Structure 1
Amino acid sequence: MMIDATVEPASEIATAPEIPAPVVPPATPPLRLLLDVDGEAAAVLAKAEVVLAHAAKRPVIRRLRQVFWDTPGLTIGRQGIGFAIETSGRRRQQLMRPIGVRPTGGRILSPVAMALDGERLDPARLAFLPGIDVGHVARLLPSDLVPVLALDLHRTIWQIEFGEARFALTLEKAEVEATAGRLGPCQVELLLQAGPAHGLYDFAAELHRAVPFELATHDAVQQAYRLVAAEDWWPTEPGQAPLLHHAMSVEQGLLAIGRAAVADLRAEIGRLTQAMPVEQVHQARVALRRLRSILSVFRKALPDAPRRALAGDLTALASALGQAREWDVFMANTLTPLGRALGEERGLKGLGFTAAVLRERAAADAYAAVLASDFMGLSLRLAAWFDAGLWPEPPSAEAAALLAEPLERYATAILRKSHKRFLAAGAHLAEAGPSDLHGLRIDAKRLRYVAEFFRPLFPGKPARRYVAALRDIQDILGTLNDAVVARGLAAKLAAQDEKYGPRAAGLVAGWSAAETEAARQRFAEVWRQFTKTARFWKDR
């Protein structure tokens, strides 16, 4: 498929342009929220009461074409820049737009547009964009550029007045043309123009009640490049470490860590299916706990009442998944190994069957709870908090001072304090009761999350060894907790089988007691190894 470039071929691109004035994007990009909709939702949006009631006037229709130029190896795109000629009617301009950042949830860099110089594409201007390899641009010959993809865009734009907020709502239907094929993404953009930024998210939450949408992970150009490159340069796989560096402030670090955790949560909740597979339930709960831990670690820097409310909503969603997770752990860590050890034990088979039935009921209840939880509303609040850095209340003077502190200093203080508290809590485990063990397990989780949050600031083997030693402790404490839960679940199951249930419950209790004793004996050595493990931060 040949792309109609609608501009001069590469041989006619300017060969020796004068050095242009530097291109400087705005220091604070405008707040833009990008949403994915399907064709049916797009039709609903155009007639939605929430749009019609808040539109200041009739919508404006715009049609334009963007042809993106790059090397055959997509060198410019791989540096996070889209380089295009945009045509709208008789008006044509050169367009340079950052495409290196996924748009999910908040601010994304705006395109930089300039009039064409004598109808010629001017690649020299690329040298002034942030993050571009200036040396490579200097070596780039005009003849190296070819049209790699084209977008035909149909935009319907409403000017929205929502409370004190003013913003543009754009419904964009794109037709992507490339040698690799075609795409037809449909997206909605909300671009804040004036007034409180929270109004944009409040409007999006109200819009979602009428129009189903998802927060976009790729804009139309990124989707087009993904098609052309046959790979995703903006993966959304969970578990990616936040990008932290030593020059960051506490506020910058908080937002980076929060964005990574929110991306994980969205991905994990998005993977949940009606069957609620074991690993999906587990990872969704982990993502929720990680976010709650972030709110706790940075609690002194955040507005207290909104922070508690947000943490409460995360806790409620985690609790909805909790019963299914308990049955999963019971079946995998107790019934399965016990069955292997005892073979054809009739009571255990009945116990396992009943447990599987109750697990399916719990999974169905959990899935229904997730669907009913207005996760999109929660996701929009998280987007405002972490993607856009907008909190319901301005920080207090004390919190503002803390947010301005160096991240590394804050991380060191938190790590030191958490480590010291954990050592004190674990010093007397031999005499600890179930409630003490449960508390120590929670402390271990919190310390591990803190270590993983700040680990990118301290790369190297010491951090890996510390986290590994902490994971060993957490595994043993998890075994101890599983044994307590297993005895309770077995008793619940036994009540439903008068003939074989009591014996099966007794077998579970005996197995759990043996597991508990073995775990306690292992703990002493694992704890000793942990206390000998070097701390990976520098105490000051």
Structure 2
Amino acid sequence: MTTSQPVEIELKLALSPQRAAAFTKLMARQHNAPLQQELVTRYFDTPDFSLSALGVAVRVRRTGRRWLQTLKTEGERHGGLSRRAEYEMAISRSQLDWEKFPPEARALVPEALRAQLGVVFETRFNRTAWLIDSRGGAEIEVALDVGEVRAGRHSQPICEIELELRAGQPDTLFVLAQDWARRFDCVPLDDSKADRGVRLARGEEATPAKSAPLALDSGMSVEDGFAAICQACLAQFQANLPGVLVSDDIEYVHQARVALRRLRAALRLYRRVCAVPDALLAQLRALAAALGSARDWDVLCSETLPAIAPHYADAAQWQRGRQALEARRTGVRAAMRTALAQAQPGAWLLAFQRWLLQRGWRAAAETQRLVQLSPLKKWARRALQKGHRPIVRGARRFAQLQPEQRHALRIAIKRQRYAAEFFQELFARGRGARYQAVLRDAQDSLGRANDARMARGLLAEARLDTEPMGQFVLGWLAAQQAADTADAPGENAKHLQNFMETAPCW
């Protein structure tokens, strides 16, 4: 009996099926002939998917007349690169043989679960694999998988590239992946075939990904905290990117934009500690700009106008104006997708992840000193306190602030809210939730004034600002803003007062 290496290091890329032939043509330049296989893989789990809940995947795979059984753990996955334990060995038939797994693998699945396991889905795909030598003596297996995952009567296509490191450093995987991302518009893929199969078997539809709490702890270094925060922001953007490109659900654009805003807030927060290369920042700005206009039109058409529509007397006239705005919105969304493709988000995600894994900020001596200055919790407390002060000053003077100053205050509140979310696991949870809540309320309240300002610009862009419907919308928004004056402070002042009365979370 032979067992594969206990740790598998691979990088996955999602490839458009239309580009598979072009990728195969590129790989045909390799000196060695590819290995071609038709693979059928059956995945086991309990009826309530207890195994996947443990972060374990168990499968049997047929390659020709040979059967292999494999147990994989969830491991670490960032930007398409994964490191996970893998135990694989030959078996005589298509049923699991637990006694052939080594003790450390068997220990990962409680005996009570083993008796409940059954096949819950399967994958069928053609694999074309090349073994290539890369720089620095690295050896990499490159596999193109094209087929589908099936669960009952449901199926989902598979088209992906896997780069598995056989020898050498993980950085060599990124060198190849970045090149292919630029050539073929690939994007990094964190979801395994098992992940996708479980969702298919459970009947779960893909949904926009919101930000998730970060598992930071006070023993972390400042730079480990920085890397974890950036990776979380990149993961949220990466998870929403496919939906941005193909779905009409506006929440994908919103959450992708939130991910980039959170990343920009993190980079600003750490700007004296971990300077980011200009090329990565330039691409970040291009991606954010591509999403920005589409999101503004989504807010106007899906949030602002529906709230005003019931109060407009001429329904037919409203409908004509609404259709004109929707047509404009559709054009902006198409332009967004073109701009995103030109910005090559897949290559940017890989480049950013590579820089994080290399700890690229260590090049500067001053940065190295600052990174080692203090543990994360102490540094985070100072950073939060620094972000808190200008909001206090703005809240005290809110009635006297000009529109541009109120806009700047909203931006400061948003950045502080993101910072508080980043570091929430380091401080008292109850106080942190309250502090974040009052920041969110103040940001949303001030954001409505910004939405009104954006609406005026978009109506003018669509040449509806002088039409009766557009005039009514502008008047409605102006009346809302007029309610928030020094004599009648309104919602903004109320939420800022709540902020002033809330104890900081640190």
Distance 2:477 2:235 in 1: 40
Residue 484 of structure 1 contacts residue 512 of structure 1 at CA under 8 Å; is this kept in 2?
Answer: no
Whether the 8 Å CA contact 1:272–1:280 is kept in 2: the answer is: yes
Cα separation, 1, equivalents of 2:491 and 2:129: 65
Matched, 1:414 2:392: no
TM-score, reference length from structure 1: 0.74
The SS at the match of 2:81 is coil
**Which amino acid counterpart does residue 22 of structure 2 have in structure 1?**
V
For residues 387 and 395 of structure 2, what CA distance do their matches in structure 1 show? 12
What do residues 317-367 of structure 1 show as CA deviations (whole Å, max 9, x unaligned)?
Answer: 222333344344455676665565563499988876665554444333323
SS state at 1:468 partner: helix
1:188/1:236 CA distance change after superposition, 3 Å: farther
Q: Within 2, Cα distance between the matches of 1:113 and 1:70?
A: 17
Which residue pairs with 2:192 in the alignment? 219
Letter aligned with residue 479 of structure 2: W
Note the residue ranges of structure 2 that are not aligned, 5 or more in a row.
Answer: none
- Percent identical pairs in the alignment equals 29
Cα RMSD (Å): 4.7
Residues 1:401 and 1:124: Cα distance change in structure 2 (over 3 Å): farther
Deviation of the 1:274 alpha carbon: 7.2
What is the aligned partner in structure 2 of residue 132 from structure 1?
Answer: 108
Deviation string, structure 1 residues 283-323 (Cα, Å, up to 9, x no partner) = 3322221221222223344344x1x4323322222223333
2-structure distance, mates of 1:341, 1:80: 52
Q: Tell me what 1:443 maps to.
A: 412
| Contact persistence 1:106–1:384 (CA under 8 A) | no
User: Which of 355, 368, 392 is residue 338 of structure 2 equivalent to?
Assistant: 368
Contact 2:55 2:73 in 1 (8 A): yes
Cα offset, 1:531, TM superposition: 1.1
Aligned residues: 500
Q: 1:323: which partner in 2?
A: 293
C-alpha contact (below 8 Å) 1:34/1:216 kept by paired residues: yes
Question: Paired residue for 1:106, among 81, 88, 92?
Answer: 81
CA distance in 1, matches of 2:480, 2:169: 56
Deviation at 1:509, TM superposition (A): 7.6
Whether 2:476 is the aligned partner of 1:476: answer no
Structure-2 change in CA distance of 1:187 and 1:461 (3 Å): same
Q: Which residue of 1 aligns with 2:56?
A: 81
User: Which amino acid in structure 2 is aligned with residue 318 of structure 1?
Assistant: A
Aligned twin of 1:205 = 178
> In 1, are the aligned partners of 2:60 and 2:96 still within 8 Å (CA)?
no
User: Are residues 235 and 121 of structure 1, via their aligned partners in 2, closer, same or farther at CA, if it must alter by over 3 Å?
Assistant: farther
Instruction: Pick from 10, 19, 24 the counterpart of residue 46 of structure 1.
Output: 24
What SS does the corresponding residue of 2:57 show, helix, strand or coil?
A: strand
User: CA separation in 2, counterparts of 1:186 and 1:494?
Assistant: 44
What is the aligned partner in structure 2 of residue 265 from structure 1?
237
Verify the 8 A CA contact 2:301 2:325 in the aligned structure 1.
Answer: yes
Contact kept in structure 1, 2:257 and 2:291, CA below 8 Å: yes
1:311 aligns with 2:289: no
Partner Cα distance (2:301, 2:117) in 1: 59
Q: Hey, what's the Cα distance between the residues in 2 that align with 1:124 and 1:502?
A: 72
Aligned positions of 1:16-415 closer than 5 A: 25=6, 30=9, 32-37=10-15, 41-48=19-26, 51-53=27-29, 55=30, 57-61=32-36, 75-83=50-58, 95-99=70-74, 105-113=80-88, 121-123=97-99, 128=104, 132=108, 136-137=110-111, 155-162=127-134, 164=136, 166=138, 167-172=140-145, 185-193=158-166, 197-211=170-184, 213-226=186-199, 230=202, 237-272=209-244, 278-304=250-276, 306=277, 308-330=278-300, 340-341=310-311, 343-344=313-314, 355-385=325-355, 389-390=357-358, 394-400=362-368, 406-415=375-384
Q: 1:348 to 1:457 in 2, by over 3 A?
A: same
- Maintained 8 Å contact 1:335/1:348: no
Cα displacement (A) at 1:173: 5.4
Q: TM-score, normalised by structure 2?
A: 0.78
| 1:517 partner SS | coil
* CA 1:212–1:318: 2 relative to 1, 3 Å: closer
Asked if structure 1 preserves the Cα contact closer than 8 Å seen for 2:253 and 2:291, the reply is yes
> For 1:514, which of 482, 485, 500 is the aligned residue?
482
In the TM superposition, residue 261 of structure 1 has moved relative to its aligned partner by: 2.0
AA matched with 2:491: R
Q: Which residue of 2 aligns with 1:12?
A: none
Give the unaligned 5+ runs of structure 1.
Answer: 1-6, 8-20
**C-alpha spacing 1:500/1:459, structure 2 compared with 1 (3 Å):** same
Cα distance in 1 between the residues matched to 2:245 and 2:211? 20
- 1:406 and 1:179 map into 2 onto residues whose CA distance is 51
CA contact (8 A) 1:490 1:508 kept: no
8 Å CA contact retained: 1:156, 1:170: yes
Deviations 1:395-453 (A, max 9, x none): 44554465565433333222222112322343322221122112111101101111122
Query: For the residues of structure 1 that align with 2:158 and 2:424, how far apart are their CA atoms?
Result: 38
331-340 vs 98-107, which moves further? 331-340
Deviation at 1:96, TM superposition (A): 3.1
Q: 1:437 corresponds to which letter in structure 2?
A: R
Aligned equivalents of 1:458, 1:508: Cα separation in 2: 43
| Paired letter, 2:226 | L
Match of 1:527 in 2: 496
CA distance in 2, matches of 1:74, 1:245: 30
Q: Distance between the aligned counterparts of 1:503 and 1:231, measured in 2?
A: 47
Query: Conserved in 2, the CA contact under 8 Å of 1:65 and 1:153?
Result: yes
User: CA offset at residue 35 of structure 1?
Assistant: 2.4
Q: Residue deviations 1:502-522, cap 9 Å, x none?
A: 966983685365244388443
